[in-house]
Amino acid sequence: MALHRKLSGSPVEVYKAWVNCCLADVGDNRRVTDLADDLKDGVILSQLIKSTTGYELSQGQQIQARELPQSHQTVQLVIDYMKVKGIVICCQVEDRAAYQRTVNLGKRFLLEWCCTEIPNSAIDPRGPFLDFLQDGFLLTKLITKYCPVDGINISDLQVINKDAFVTVLETAEDCLGIPCKILSSSGILDANTFDEYAVIIYMAVLRRKVS
């Protein structure tokens, strides 16, 4: 199953699936259907911070604009937290290089994690991210380490076909709560292409679920 780089940006469906996964992790039953509308009051953004960092924003925290409506205060709390953590809120064209460096560090971190999880694998954390993932074999090996799949023994396989990979992703959704949509929306299941950012998101969620 040869997978190729997809040049377009990550589909909105990938981010919606990720947000809903994070909400479920903190016991929030809300589901995002429209990113622009559902995130504008800051409540779900604060839940994302709680899910990904364990930090819970307190409405008692000091913010400068007390006269703001409640929804705006929540957004301000989120913005203040992100600024403290060094996260750039507004990205300009000139910020692209810094953004790409951050993405590259994230990819290297995930590959280093793969090396830890799968000893003796031919993975170079400094190498091209997609080159180690494009055949689906590494992802299958990572997932089946924590979610055994009936009828699939990774040690007996040389390649992963599409049907087997779909089964592995479905098992991960059932056992770990990782939505298949994070990858299926990127084309990995239907067009033999995938979006690099979708794979980064999926692997980051997988790491968080099993750590």
Ordered structural domains, the chain, with CATH: 10-59+66-85 (1.10.418.10), 93-210 (1.10.418.10)
132 within 8 A of 126, measured Cβ to Cβ: no
pTM of the predicted protein model? 0.76
Q: Is 35 helix (H, G, I), strand (E, B) or coil?
A: helix
| Alpha-carbon gap, residue 38 to 40, rounded angstroms | 6
Q: What is the reported pLDDT for 5?
A: 46
Characterise 79 by phi-psi region: left (phi > 0), alpha (psi -120 to 50), beta (else). alpha
Q: What is the reported pLDDT for 175?
A: 92
Chain centroid offset of residue 93 CA: 24
| Alpha-carbon gap, residue 81 to 130, rounded angstroms | 32
Q: What is the reported pLDDT for 125?
A: 82
Q: What is the reported pLDDT for 23?
A: 92
Q: What is the reported pLDDT for 171?
A: 92
Q: List the pLDDT tens digit at each of the 211 positions of the chain.
A: 444 444 344 568 888 889 999 999 989 999 999 988 898 888 898 899 888 888 888 654 544 445 556 667 788 888 888 888 777 666 565 566 777 777 888 888 998 998 889 887 778 888 877 777 777 788 888 899 898 888 888 777 777 777 888 889 999 999 999 998 888 655 554 545 567 788 888 999 999 898 8
| Alpha-carbon gap, residue 95 to 116, rounded angstroms | 32
Q: Supply 167's token pair.
A: 């089964």
Q: Supply 37's token pair.
A: 């509308």
Instruction: Count CB neighbours of 50 within 10 A.
Output: 17
Q: What is the reported pLDDT for 36?
A: 84
Q: Supply 137's token pair.
A: 């074999």
Q: What is the pLDDT of residues 84-107, one digit of tens each?
A: 877 766 656 556 677 777 788 888
Q: Supply 47's token pair.
A: 């839940």
| Alpha-carbon gap, residue 29 to 58, rounded angstroms | 20
Q: What is the reported pLDDT for 121?
A: 78
Helix, strand, coil shares of the chain, percent, nearest 5, are 55, 5, 40
* CB neighbour class for 125 (10 Å; exposed up to 12, middle 13-18, buried from 19): middle
Q: What is the reported pLDDT for 94?
A: 58
| Alpha-carbon gap, residue 53 to 163, rounded angstroms | 35
